Amino acid sequence: MTAIPGDHDPNSLVLICDGCGRTRGAEGSPQDWKTLWGRAFDAGWRGSDRRVGPHNCLHCAG
């Protein structure tokens, strides 16, 4: 999927898994794409380093 603005803080970003729809990011999440993707990648997410994806969470990437 993509990185979209957060529900409660439009300056934050939320990353959505293309496989299952899990999200990464919440209140206090990074406001820039590179930081969000770096943290997600470190947590096992895989995919394109572009905002538009594709992106897969740890569960779907395996």
**What is the number of structural domains in the chain?**
1
The band of 52, judged by pLDDT with boundaries at 50, 70 and 90, is confident
- Domain holding 40, by residue range, is 3-61
**10 vs 43: CA distance, rounded Å:** 23
First-to-last C-alpha distance (Å) of the chain: 17
pTM of the model: 0.77
Residue 36: its pLDDT value, please?
87
Is pLDDT above 60 for 53?
yes
pLDDT tens digits, residue range 2-48?
Answer: 666 566 666 678 888 999 999 887 556 667 888 889 989 999 999 99
SS3 labels along 1-62: CCEEECCCCCCCEEEECCCCCCEECCCCCCCCHHHHHHHHHHCCCEECCCCCCCEECHHHHC
